Structure 1
């Protein structure tokens, strides 16, 4: 009888496995059918349900689980350590993707507060950070090590009664990858630079598709990731990083949106499938990168992403909002539903090898909390515009009027000067100031490539590129240019694509000329807006083709505490 039941159970298990496999295979076939037989709401515009099916974000726990295992190990090691700074455990590259980071585990007999010092070559490159709270068990995160040397790191232990002691540890690091290229310092005036308290801010060269790294005031690399990163490298409100990387290192496309930190610990990851129809053969599927140029965190902590919608015809003209906890798409904004139909049906400004039409090429966005509006930049329309985020209705357009239908002309901002020069192919739009009264007046900063694609061509076009600031009165629909820097650098710093311009503090702006010399050089320039004096200047050369620096960003290595949490990350939703 027992034998009979064993045989029956075995047969039942086989049927379940076979049936499950058959069901999975059938679902897979159905999805592929739906991907190639696209459902359109009207000509050229996909149904929103089709876009959601095409992109298919999914939470992945693989990397979170892997770094959780490391965290558990460090927590156990801290617990087992003997008391005393001389018994500290020192770990370089604790999460295996950030070679210039470290972790020091140490116990003290009395409750102490720790101050971290990473010794630099000069005072301006020495990094210091005070940790919060008095403890006996310390997990001290170390950021800002030099490559290829034995670094000195000092911990100062201060008791509540003011008694202090110091211990210096040594952390040895290896060479940086050759693909990063060569960074040549041209100018450095650290006292005039915006380096933050304790010199904790670095200049980050954000890669187009390759190595992202951070430079100190002397142009030395003090942080880099071994993860290949494309375009997106942002700090979230919880002090973590948001990066766009690959699902696995050997993949060609960048389809993993990862929440991580400067140590390399993974907190959350969203994977995208990217199986889209091709233009030449719409009934065949090819793997594409879904997210391309930008991602921002909304006030509700959901993420807004610039994406390809999976169309066989158009690219880089759609945004999706995904739920931060689940990865589910909760909103789709298709710019073909907002901007003139002629903009995408008659576009001839650029051409792609795959034949798809990149009529808008959205490269940045910023959310205006006061007015609930989204400000968007599109390179190939030479256009910046604002929409009401809830209704997606247009509010205003900053662009030259050429090729804009009469029905859209009333959205245009009116220049307050006859000499106003419109941007061409601009990047990195950012909101840096707005008035208290309903945010009616705003200051926008952006990088003007000065390469008109669709509208605004002048004799000055392609002669230089510049960081610029404009003041916009949103109620009166007027615009005034208040600052520009780049013209004096001339054609040497003209960049046909990529680039950034960000206010960084001390009245300074950091400009990234990412595609200088036809993509053979990137240059990072910090300039004071009052004097137009350059206070920091680095040339980057000899990097891998295609890995020009998409943006230059000044970011704080320690936006929060230097204490590394050894709590396990929960991956369930």
Structure 2
């Protein structure tokens, strides 16, 4: 094996030398901090700076490769080629006849191998290596198979550095590997390192670029990733599309002149059916976290906007006196979800204790899932009527999503969300803060009724209560639920995040549980969400030309 050590974080290429740029140093970012009252100017523009820098990195790789002869037994190996994913590498080599390549990183301590076959028979090979352990001499096997079924292989050793000193701690509590959904569990922070752990709780991937809130796989099998335009600025304002090696293929930068705090893009970015992004942002007014912009995936510029102040009456935001009212944070939109069945969007409002279904881009409200207290007269007919004696409306909710059809009834829609159960401006104050939960509601859109059909969390009481942040995901292969109570206090004020995978049974069983710690209150480094997905996407045709 011949190695080319890149050691960059999207570094500048100067006279053929790749220069390392420092990572974020764990600077504290205040959760929910807002902007100034005076009007500011917002700009949304494409950003190709990282792609340009990566072109220089690719040129270094190609130049080094052209100066040698690299085959299966002696490949060129570039560790962390883009300085963005330290537990990855790239192997580049050629074979005399067309071969199909399988790469395997061998597991340790009973952990599973991470393996992937790149479909197709080629003679030139650029093979991403994912799933390395930190601080370890990793054994990596490259296997080549020709079209006659004959195989050959080589074994590599790739040595990795330890995790950063300020990395979060991940403790495995339980793992029933036979009943878990396949894939790594990716911990998505409010600020700092996004990372993935296997069923043993071992870190097998992380990004050295700071991340906040936004990390999910797209239809093209790449990631949407929210980071900082200028590292250590504290402002998360750069939306990237990139692969698991850190190769960037799209960037959009949002700047708001009167906003100096952390979350310019603050909670969510989703992919619309037209391929554009829809991002929660600030509009430059004296109110925050109540706006969304649609971003063109070609230009990176804003092509549409939807603002909650244009939907709800003035008194709702002018008279709001709940948490963060002095910062103009009357709505606090923390999630947006596109419902393919109804072709509309669902938004989650923490400070209105509500889930709102509306058309997009018009913003015509269809229904509101919230306690009926205090809503303006014009929205009374949109409020869902609860069914059942033990029904509870959500309080300070997060992470709403629609589920696949659950009852073969075209008039119903099932939604899953994380109910923090904190009554912000409305709701049941008698139960508030006693627990948090994942809950599935069934909504009949014909008669405007809603019932609870499943939940998990009440039985764990205050140990599962998260006053901020949280997530609940439906896992399609098993029907399991992945639940994140992101800001929970245990015994002795033990602040931590707890990630739990349960079955969908009426009395749900835990099949996987992680405890994430190592952060303090106010740092905003907790787990905001968790995602379960294979480390390698199903289809990935990597090439240095980024085509």
- Specify if TM > 0.5: yes
Give me the whole-angstrom Cα distance separating, in 1, the residues matched to 2:136 and 2:410: 50
Within the alignment, does 1:210 sit opposite 2:197 as a pair?
A: no
The number of residues matched between the two structures is 505
Give me the whole-angstrom Cα distance separating, in 2, the residues matched to 1:390 and 1:191: 43
Within the alignment, does 1:416 sit opposite 2:394 as a pair?
A: no
Assess, with a 3 A threshold, how the Cα gap between structure 1 residues 493 and 299 changes in structure 2: closer, same or farther: same
Within the alignment, does 1:267 sit opposite 2:249 as a pair?
A: yes
Assess, with a 3 A threshold, how the Cα gap between structure 1 residues 231 and 396 changes in structure 2: closer, same or farther: same
Match of 2:501 in 1: 526
Within the alignment, does 1:535 sit opposite 2:539 as a pair?
A: no
Q: Which has the larger radius of gyration?
A: 1
SS in 1 for 2:312: coil
Match of 2:542 in 1: 564
User: Which of 395-404 and 504-513 deviates more?
Assistant: 504-513
Give me the whole-angstrom Cα distance separating, in 2, the residues matched to 1:559 and 1:501: 22
Alpha-carbon distance, 1:473 to partner? 1.7
Indicate conservation of the 8 Å contact 1:130/1:562, yes or no: no
Which of 180, 201, 205 does residue 167 from structure 2 map onto? 180
Match of 2:104 in 1: 117
Match of 1:42 in 2: none
Indicate conservation of the 8 Å contact 1:138/1:563, yes or no: no
Which of 424, 427, 447 does residue 456 from structure 1 map onto? 427
Alpha-carbon distance, 1:507 to partner? 2.1
Alpha-carbon distance, 1:126 to partner? 1.1
Give me the whole-angstrom Cα distance separating, in 1, the residues matched to 2:180 and 2:407: 29
* TM, length-normalised to structure 1: 0.84
Give me the whole-angstrom Cα distance separating, in 1, the residues matched to 2:409 and 2:340: 10
Match of 2:22 in 1: none
SS in 2 for 1:380: coil
Give me the whole-angstrom Cα distance separating, in 2, the residues matched to 1:287 and 1:541: 25
Within the alignment, does 1:294 sit opposite 2:265 as a pair?
A: no
Assess, with a 3 A threshold, how the Cα gap between structure 1 residues 414 and 81 changes in structure 2: closer, same or farther: farther
Give me the whole-angstrom Cα distance separating, in 1, the residues matched to 2:332 and 2:376: 20
1:483-530 superposed Cα distances (whole Å, 9 cap, x missing partner): 100112110110000010101231211111110117820111111111
SS in 1 for 2:351: helix
Within the alignment, does 1:230 sit opposite 2:212 as a pair?
A: yes
Match of 2:225 in 1: 243
1:208-247 superposed Cα distances (whole Å, 9 cap, x missing partner): 0111111100001111111111111122211111111111
Match of 2:142 in 1: 155
Alpha-carbon distance, 1:420 to partner? 1.0
Match of 1:552 in 2: 530
Within the alignment, does 1:324 sit opposite 2:297 as a pair?
A: yes
Matches within 5 A, 1:340-489: 340-351=313-324, 355-434=326-405, 440-489=411-460
Give me the whole-angstrom Cα distance separating, in 2, the residues matched to 1:264 and 1:137: 21
Structure 2: gaps spanning 5 or more residues: 1-35
Assess, with a 3 A threshold, how the Cα gap between structure 1 residues 436 and 512 changes in structure 2: closer, same or farther: closer
SS in 2 for 1:125: coil
1:325-364 superposed Cα distances (whole Å, 9 cap, x missing partner): 1122211111112123332122111126xx3221110000
Match of 2:465 in 1: 494
Assess, with a 3 A threshold, how the Cα gap between structure 1 residues 507 and 97 changes in structure 2: closer, same or farther: same
Alpha-carbon distance, 1:122 to partner? 5.5
SS in 1 for 2:530: strand
Match of 1:23 in 2: none
Alpha-carbon distance, 1:563 to partner? 4.5
Indicate conservation of the 8 Å contact 2:47/2:300, yes or no: no
Assess, with a 3 A threshold, how the Cα gap between structure 1 residues 341 and 36 changes in structure 2: closer, same or farther: closer
Give me the whole-angstrom Cα distance separating, in 1, the residues matched to 2:336 and 2:216: 13
Give me the whole-angstrom Cα distance separating, in 1, the residues matched to 2:449 and 2:37: 46
SS in 1 for 2:462: helix
Indicate conservation of the 8 Å contact 1:519/1:548, yes or no: no
Assess, with a 3 A threshold, how the Cα gap between structure 1 residues 36 and 360 changes in structure 2: closer, same or farther: closer
Indicate conservation of the 8 Å contact 1:347/1:359, yes or no: yes
Q: Greater helix share, 1 or 2?
A: 1
* TM, length-normalised to structure 2: 0.88
Assess, with a 3 A threshold, how the Cα gap between structure 1 residues 564 and 371 changes in structure 2: closer, same or farther: same
Indicate conservation of the 8 Å contact 1:55/1:290, yes or no: no
Give me the whole-angstrom Cα distance separating, in 1, the residues matched to 2:504 and 2:531: 17
Alpha-carbon distance, 1:435 to partner? 7.4
Indicate conservation of the 8 Å contact 1:183/1:541, yes or no: yes
Give me the whole-angstrom Cα distance separating, in 2, the residues matched to 1:475 and 1:396: 11
Matches within 5 A, 1:190-205: 190-195=177-182, 201-205=183-187
Give me the whole-angstrom Cα distance separating, in 2, the residues matched to 1:341 and 1:37: 18
Assess, with a 3 A threshold, how the Cα gap between structure 1 residues 320 and 420 changes in structure 2: closer, same or farther: same
1:180-209 superposed Cα distances (whole Å, 9 cap, x missing partner): 2211111011111111xxxxx211110101
1:136-172 superposed Cα distances (whole Å, 9 cap, x missing partner): 1111101111000010111111111111112111111
Indicate conservation of the 8 Å contact 2:45/2:302, yes or no: no
1:375-427 superposed Cα distances (whole Å, 9 cap, x missing partner): 11100101001111142211011000001123211101122213210000010
